[in-house]
Amino acid sequence: MMGQTKHEGPTKLPRLPDPKLWVSPVPFGLGKIKPKHIRDTAKVVWENRDNLPYAYRILTQGVCDGCALGVGGLRDQTLTGPHLCTTRLNVLRLNTMPAIDEEILHSDIDQLRQKSSTELRQLGRIPYPLSRKPGEKRFTRISWDDALDRIADKIRSIDPKQLAFYLTSRGITNEVYYTAAKTARFLGTNNIDNASRICHSPSKTALKRSLGIGASSCNYRDWIGTDVLVFWGSVAANNQPVSTKYMYAAKRKGTKIIVINPYREPSMDGYWVPSIPDSALFGTKIANDFYQVNIGGDIALMNGVMKHWFEMEIEEPGSAIDWEFVQQHTHGVEDLKDHVLNQDWETLEASSGLSRARMEELARLLARSKSGVFVWSMGLTQHRFGTDNISQIANLAMLRGFIGRKHCGVMPIRGHSGVQGSGEMGADPFVLPGGDFEPKEIERLEQLWNFDIPRWQGDTVGDSLENALLPEEHQRKLRVFYTSGGNFLETMPDPDFVRQCLEQMELRVHQDIILNTSTLVDAKEEVIVLPAMTRYEQPGGGTSTSTERMVYFSPEIEGPRIEEARSEWEIYTDLAARVKPEAKEQITFADAQEIREEIAKANPNYDGIQHLKKKGDVFQWGGAWLCEGGICPTDDGRGNLIPIELPELRKPEGHFYVSTRRGKQFNSMIYGETDPTNAADRYSVLIHPEDARSIGIRDGEAIVLYNRYGRFQGVAQFADTRRGNLQVYWPEGNVLIPKGVYEEYAAIPEYNTAVVVEKAETYHAQKDTRYVEKRVEELETEMT
C-alpha cells in the first residue's frame, strides 16, 4: 500500500550546457517577453530594506510559505544547488513588514474600503485585536480576553450547526490545521473547510475513488528521466517557478514534455531558469508539444487517447495497454474498453477541439513510453466535472502501468504551501485526521480525543457561505463564521452575492496577518479581527507538507515581532477552552511539540512528524511511491478503471468559452499589473486572432464580455489560444462566473462559463435601448 522504497535524495544537474535546448542564442532573451528575475529580486531587497537580516534568516532557515513545491531554507530534495524564486521573494514582505500605522488602521472604514486588497496588504500587519459593529465607522481596539470571550459567548448561544470554520493555506502549518480541525469538532461542528475546496478537492476525491490515495503518488525526482512528463491544465512555470529547474533537469535526461492547455502558455514553451547559467543566458525550450484543447474538452481527449489504444490492441495485442498491470492491479477494464470504443470520433473531436489525428498522435506517444508522469492543476480541477477529469488521468496512468514505480505517477501539483496538509490534518468536512469522515474513523478519533465528535455531515465552505442567507428559523443558518485568512470576495464566483452572504452573518471572525477587502465588510452584529503570527514567529516552529508529501520543519526564527500577534493554534485552543471551560484539558496543548506528538497518533501516515525538531528536518510520508508495485490502498488492493461520460458543454451558438488564468500573482494576491510571460494586463482578454477578426475586433480594442451573470470590460489581446476559447485573469474575471454551480463529488465551484463578446463601443452605444435587454433574455433561454 504505502511505499517501502525511500526517496533517493537530491541529484546533480549536468555541468556542461546543451545548446540544443536553448530558446535563442541571443543572451538574456533580449527583445523577448519574459520574467525579469534580477529586477524583481532587486525590488524585493528594496522592499525589505528595513529588515534585511531577518528576511535573510527566513529564506535560509524557514520553509517556504509560497507554493507547495516545498523547500526548507534554500535546499530541496530534488536537486542539489539553491532553490529560490520570485514568488517566495514577493511573499517575503508579509513576514517582515511592521504593523499598520494606527492612524490608518482606525481611519474611516469607507476610506479603507477604497483600497484594493493589494493596497490593504501593503499597509502592514494587524497589530492587535479589533472590533467593528454595525454603524461604527472605525475599528476599535479590544483586548484578547475581550475578543475571545465575546466570540465564546456567541458560540455558546447558537446551535453548533450554525458555526463554520475556514482556513486558507498560505503560511498555515499542519499544527494549526490540526488544532482547528480538533477545535471545530470539540465545539460540536463539522463545518470546517480549507482552501483546497477551490483548487484541488476533486484531485483528492478522484484519486481516492480510482486509486485509494489522496495525494501525489510520486516525487519530482520521477520527472527527471521519465519518458514522458505531461502537464495537464497546469502552468507550473508560473505557479511553482522552481519546477522549471526540474523540467530542465528532465529535458537533459531526454524526457519529453507535453503540455495540454487551451492557451499555448509562453512560460511552458520556453523559460529562462535564473539559477542555471546556460538557461539564464539563453533560455530552455520546455514543451516538446502543446495540445491546445477546448476548455472542458479534456475528458473527450482522454477518451480519444484510450479509444485509440484499444484500437491499437485490436490490430496488435500488447502495443498500447500494460496488460500485466491492468490484470493484476485493476478492476473494470472491459467496461472502460466498451465505453471508449463506443464513442464516435466526430463527437470526441467536437468536444476536445482536437482532430482525431492529434489524439492518435498523443496516444501513440504515450503507448511508446515505458514510463510517464501526469501533473495537473486547476485547468482540470476547476470544472463542474473536475473529479471525472482526474479519474480520467488515473485511467490513463493505470492502463499504461504508470503507477507505483520509478519515473511514474500521478501528481496534483499544489499552489499553496499549506494546502496538502490541510485535509490530512482534518480541516475538511469530509475528512478527519488520518481517515475519511466515517464511523470507524470517528470512533478511532473519539478514543484519542476523549470527546464525542458530531455525526452529521459538515458543509463545504461554499454551502456555509450560502447558509448565511437561510431563514431565521433554519437549523443550519450560518451565524458565526470564523476564517483564518482567505478573501472570499476575491476568490469565489459572483462577488456581489458573496458580499451579501458575508453581511448576513451575525459574527465574523477574521484571524489573519493582514487586512483584505473581505475583512472590511459589515456583519449583522460584529466583525472581530484577530492578529495571527506568521509560521516563522510561532514558538516551537511548525511543519508543512509539500505536493510530494515531504513534511518539512520550519523553526521559529529570531526577529522582530508584532505587538499582540499570537500563534494560530494557541488562539483556537484558547477559544475552545473559553467556550467549554469544564473540558478544557481535552483541547489544551502545552506547546507545538505536543501537537506534533498527537498528530503522529491521529494520522498514522504522519508517524515521524514528532521527530522533526530543527531546521532542515524533513520526512516523506508514504515513501517514494504510493501504490508501490501497483498495490493500491483500496479494499482489495486494486485500482478502479472508471468509464467517464463526456460532459455536456454549455456553449450556445455565437458564444465563447472563457476560463481564468493567473498572472504576476500568488493565488489572489496580485504583485504586478502586467503578466511577465505575455505582457498582458489584468483586464486583457486573450483571444485567437481569427476569432477576433470574425467579429470585427482588432488587437488592443476595448471589448465587453457578458452573460446572464455579469459583465467584464476588457481589452482584446491576440493570443495563441484554441479557437472559441478565451482567457481572462482571476479573480477579476469572477464577475462572469455563475454562483452556486458546484462539482458533484468534491464541491469545487465551476470557474468556467460561456460569454458573448462585443466591441465596447457597440455594447455601450446600444445599452440604453432594448437591444441589450433582448440579448440577455435570449441568452438566458439558451443557457438554461
- Summarize as ranges the residues that interact with ligand SF4 (CB under 6 A): 64, 66-67, 69-71, 83-85, 87-88, 240-242
Do the beta carbons of residue 293 and residue 649 sit within 8 Å? no
Residue 173 CA to residue 179 CA, distance in Å, equals 10
Could you tell me the smallest distance in angstroms from the CB atom of residue 277 to ligand SF4?
A: 19
Give the contacts of 392 (CB within 8 A, at least 6 positions apart). Answer: 298, 299, 302, 303, 644
Could you tell me the smallest distance in angstroms from the CB atom of residue 678 to ligand SF4?
A: 20
The residue type at 496? D
Q: How far is CA 733 from CA 442, 492, 658, 779, in A?
A: 40, 11, 9, 19
Could you tell me the smallest distance in angstroms from the CB atom of residue 421 to ligand SF4?
A: 14
Could you tell me the smallest distance in angstroms from the CB atom of residue 72 to ligand SF4?
A: 10
The nearer residue to ligand SF4, 13 or 123, going by C-beta atoms, is 13
Strand arrangement of the beta sheet that strand 409-412 belongs to: 289-291, 256-260, 228-232, 372-376, 409-412
Do the beta carbons of residue 490 and residue 668 sit within 8 Å? yes
Residue nearest to ligand SF4 (CB): 66
The nearer residue to ligand SF4, 99 or 242, going by C-beta atoms, is 242
Residue 428 CA to residue 433 CA, distance in Å, equals 9
The nearer residue to ligand SF4, 66 or 663, going by C-beta atoms, is 66
Q: CA angle at residue 671 from 665 to 672, to 5 degrees?
A: 100
- H helix or E strand, kind and range, residue 327: helix 323-329
Could you tell me the smallest distance in angstroms from the CB atom of residue 91 to ligand SF4?
A: 7
C-alpha cell at position 382: 476547476
Question: Is the bond preceding residue 731 a cis peptide, omega within 30 degrees?
Answer: yes
Could you tell me the smallest distance in angstroms from the CB atom of residue 39 to ligand SF4?
A: 17
Could you tell me the smallest distance in angstroms from the CB atom of residue 187 to ligand SF4?
A: 34
Q: Strand, coil or helix: what is 263?
A: strand
Could you tell me the smallest distance in angstroms from the CB atom of residue 92 to ligand SF4?
A: 10
The nearer residue to ligand SF4, 92 or 213, going by C-beta atoms, is 92
The nearer residue to ligand SF4, 416 or 739, going by C-beta atoms, is 416
The nearer residue to ligand SF4, 226 or 417, going by C-beta atoms, is 417
C-alpha cell at position 781: 433561454
The nearer residue to ligand SF4, 72 or 429, going by C-beta atoms, is 72
Could you tell me the smallest distance in angstroms from the CB atom of residue 125 to ligand SF4?
A: 21
The nearer residue to ligand SF4, 66 or 212, going by C-beta atoms, is 66
The nearer residue to ligand SF4, 70 or 541, going by C-beta atoms, is 70
Could you tell me the smallest distance in angstroms from the CB atom of residue 606 to ligand SF4?
A: 20
The nearer residue to ligand SF4, 64 or 258, going by C-beta atoms, is 64
Residue 216 CA to residue 234 CA, distance in Å, equals 15
Q: Could you give the residue ranges of the DSSP H alpha helices within 29-143?
A: 37-47, 52-61, 86-96, 102-105, 109-113, 117-123
Beta-sheet pairing, 372-376 with 409-412? parallel
Q: Could you give the residue ranges of the DSSP H alpha helices within 580-688?
A: 592-602
Residue 680 is classified by DSSP as: -
Q: How many residues appear in the chain?
A: 784
